[in-house]
Amino acid sequence: MTEPLPLLRTSIEHLRAVIDGTTNLDPETSAYPTEWSIADTMSHIGSGAVILKQRFDDVVAGTESDAGFNQSVWDEWNAKAPADQVTDALVADQALLLALEALPDAKRATFHLVMGPFNLDFNGFVALRLGEQAMHAWDVEVALDPTATLSSDVAAVVLEGIGRIVGFSGKANGETKEVRIRTTEPARDFTIVFAGDSVSLITASHSGVIDLELPAEAFVRLVYGRLDAAKTTADASNPALSDLGTAFPGF
């Protein structure tokens, strides 16, 4: 796996540059999706950073996590003023990054965390945070710059674990079918398999017809429920794009 930690630093620094570089930022401007404001999205980034840092610290220390901790964090962040949600999220994001960077290599090698459906080593943990942080940073940035995209480097890392996200976020509709996908920048071939009540992903080269070709960053956004006709260079009339948009409504 490509080392995700330097890319997480880059993504965090990029979000700070977006926020700091926006004159007269209105934190209550709609983000993407529109039911969230920029402040809501930054609160999600910040509270997520606090929660993940605590989980990380608990694993490193070998201690049990407090079952009530997550709710206490959400309550705290929900009570913050919108402007504070924005600025405090940048601080929390940085604090998690510094904790990750400070972990010695020997402890990185033995790090292991089971979190919901995810069974994570150190790089897997960082990559999962990178996907979430970069996606929500895009939610903010695209509200300020409609041409914003994910970086191809971030997309490449997220693609390495995209099967876990497909299994978690995909919504089956009872159909049995396969959708063959090819990405560019980087070039990868995938098949999304709908089998009754499940959705899964296969990574294998295609030799036949491709149902959908699109940039890797757009495919990542699709799986996270953040690809619509206005936010892709793919053919909006392609029925595969519409079908996958329905199957991945976002989370």
Q: How confident is the model at residue 231 (pLDDT cuts 50, 70, 90)?
A: low
Measured CA distances, 162 to 49, 61, 123 (Å): 21, 29, 14
Residue 60 has pLDDT above 60, yes or no: yes
Residue 66: predicted pLDDT: 92
Report phi then psi at 243, rounded to 5: -60, -45
What is the rounded CA–CA span in Å between residue 102 and residue 1? 20
What torsion do the CA atoms of 138, 186, 129, 244 make, to the nearest 10 degrees? 70
Q: Answer whether 7's CB lies under 8 Å from 128's CB.
A: no
Chain mean position to CA 32: 13
CB 192 within 8 A of CB 181: yes
pLDDT on residue 229: 59
Residue 235 has pLDDT above 70, yes or no: no
Tokens of 95: 């604090």
Average pLDDT over every residue of 94-111: 97
Give which of 28, 77, 20 is closest to 48, Cα–Cα. 77
Q: Are 132 and 161 in contact (CB under 8 A)?
A: no
- Give pLDDT tens digits for 148-195: 999 999 999 999 988 888 888 888 888 888 999 999 999 999 999 998
Instruction: Read off the amino acid at residue 124.
Output: G
The residue length of the chain stands at: 251
Average pLDDT score, the chain: 92
Q: Which domains, and CATH codes, for the chain?
A: 4-148 (1.20.120.450), 162-247 (3.30.1050.10)
- Dihedral angle sign, alpha carbons of residues 236, 241, 245, 246: positive
Query: 236 pLDDT band (50/70/90 cuts)?
Result: low
Closest by alpha carbon to 19, among 143, 129, 131?
143
**Which is more confidently placed, 228 or 14?**
14
SS3 60: helix
Distances in whole angstroms, Cα of residue 205 to Cα of each of 109, 122, 156, 182:
31, 28, 16, 9
pLDDT at 239: 78
Q: Which residues contact 85 (CB under 8 A, 6 or more apart)?
A: 27, 39, 40, 42, 43, 46, 77
Q: Reply yes or no on whether the pLDDT at 1 is more than 80.
A: no
Per-residue burial over 14-26, b if 16 or more Cβ lie within 10 Å, else e, is bbbebbeebeebe
CB 214 within 8 A of CB 189: no
